[in-house]
Amino acid sequence: MSAHPIPYPAALSIDPSSRSRIPGDDKAPFDDLIDQYAVSYKAHPADPVPLAGGRGDREPPLYDLTRQESTDYTDESFKDVKTFEGHRTERLDWEYPPTAAKIEPVKQQQETASWWELVPDSIACRLYLLTVLLETAVDLAMEAELFLRLKGAKAIDNSDNQQSEKMPVYLSIFAMAHVFQFGMALDAVNDRNTLQFIALTIFNALFLVYAIIQIKEVETFPVIETSGVSIHTLAAIVPIVISVAELAYVALAWKIYTEFGWKVYKFLGADRRIKSMYTHYQIFLCLVKFDLFFWVGFSVQFIWLVLSSHNAEYYLTILALPLSILVLIDGHVAARHENKWMMYTFMLGCGGALVYFMYKLIKVLRLRETSTFVDVWQTLTTFSVLATLLLITTFVFTCIVMNNFGRGLANQSGLYAFVPCNLP
């Protein structure tokens, strides 16, 4: 087809096709607005020319745009802007990245603030930690004195029976439990774990039961009294201190519960589904931490009171102790990062530990009449039963927590150090 010329309206005086091409003639109609200000900022040695009709007697700018002087990269640099004598010509130093000398004061301020954040802002939490600290200090002092008295009595008696061997081990476990309780209290305050406070109150009540039993154990132990406070008085002080601390925990429990409930509500919001998932997460972490204590406590008793160094089971139990700790750490990290593969390995480790404690429990009950277990089978049975029950409960909550992966808890509660790895 031949091209036909397109007719133009008569109103057009000039045919556009006949217009001459002049350089710059095809610019956009708004292109004349792009001038020297379209380029990146550059300093002007003098004040720009005033606009037409504007005032020509402007005051000079406060800062010399051609001058760049370094000042402190801190809040003190704002004092250089203006003084009582008048304006100054120094500019603020916005250098990026700042030099090491400028970063160092900021780092020191951040480190000081981070250490100060360890102290809780709540009066109830401070009183709680102070009570736990006093209870731990007094009971550890009493237990250390009892340990030295019993060790001296054993050296004088020069006996090798199991009765003289078990008391130092029991006192060591009791002291370890107090240190564990103080660490758990710090962790509960830091994580705002209300359920952990309740668990610690129950744990402290178990201390009271054990301390009362300890009085009867000490009375049957042959000790030669020398001077000072008698060993029976020392043993009686421990349950008194624990009872007073237990009353303080119960009194502070409601105040801490209301404070933490409000803080958790502000961080998590009003979504009941998120709150329920976070409660399951808190219960799981609490169970894992108490699993650690009972696993270590049972292993220490079994190694020092039952097994001998020339037995293969002795070395296997020693090897199983650090492995069990690694399994518990794996479960904690898996729940924190929402990693299913790590959670599967934790569940496998819990299954192996459950078989181990069941085997030990059956063995202790079968051989409780023998000379090896006759004096220690009660405590070993107690620890193995509690460890087994905790393991079963932990396994159940492991399934619940893993089922909650990817449902929004990690994103909603980012202030609680959830860091999802985005792994299957």
Per-residue model confidence as pLDDT tens digits over 225-234: 655 677 888 8
Band (pLDDT 50/70/90 cuts) for residue 399 is very high
For helices 231-268 and 123-157, angle between their N-to-C axes, nearest 10 degrees = 150
The larger pLDDT score, comparing residue 406 to residue 263, is at 406
User: Does residue 304 or residue 6 have the better pLDDT?
Assistant: 304
**How is the chain split into domains, by residue range?**
121-268, 288-424
Tokens standing for 164? 């003289």
Secondary-structure class of domain 121-268 per CATH: mainly alpha
Average pLDDT estimate for 78-86: 45
Distance (Å, rounded) from C-alpha 139 to C-alpha 23?
96
Return the exposure string of 159-173: e unless at least 16 CB atoms fall within 10 Å of the residue's CB, then b.
eeeeebebbbbbbbb
In three-state secondary structure terms, 55 is coil
- pLDDT of 321 higher than 70: yes
pLDDT at 347: 92
Token output for 234? 């020392």
Give CA 85 to chain center in angstroms. 52
Averaged pLDDT, 3-32? 54
Integer Cα distance of 262 and 269 in angstroms: 10
For residue 18, give the DSSP letter. Answer: G
- pLDDT of 290 > 60? The answer is yes
* Predicted pLDDT at 109: 59
Question: What does the pLDDT look like over 244-263, one tens digit per residue?
Answer: 999 999 988 888 877 776 66
pLDDT at 375 exceeding the cut of 60: yes
Average pLDDT, the chain: 73
Q: Rounded mean pLDDT of 84-89?
A: 47
Residue 337 pLDDT greater than 90, yes or no: no
Query: Mean per-residue pLDDT for 197-210?
Result: 89
pLDDT value of residue 394: 93
Least confident piece of the model among 55-64, 86-95, 378-387? 86-95
* Higher pLDDT, residue 5 or 385: 385
Q: Check whether 28 has a pLDDT greater than 80.
A: no
Q: Which pLDDT does position 5 carry in this prediction?
A: 57
Return phi, psi of residue 287, to 5°. -65, -40
| pTM of the complete model | 0.66
pLDDT score for 147: 82
| For range 55-68, the mean pLDDT | 54
pLDDT of 142 > 80? The answer is: yes
Stretch (H or E) spanning 149: helix 123-157
Task: Report pLDDT for 410.
Answer: 66
- Per-residue model confidence (pLDDT) at position 299: 87
Q: Give 207-217 pLDDT, tens digit per residue.
A: 888 888 888 77
Give the pLDDT of residue 105.
Answer: 59
Provide the pLDDT for residue 404. 84
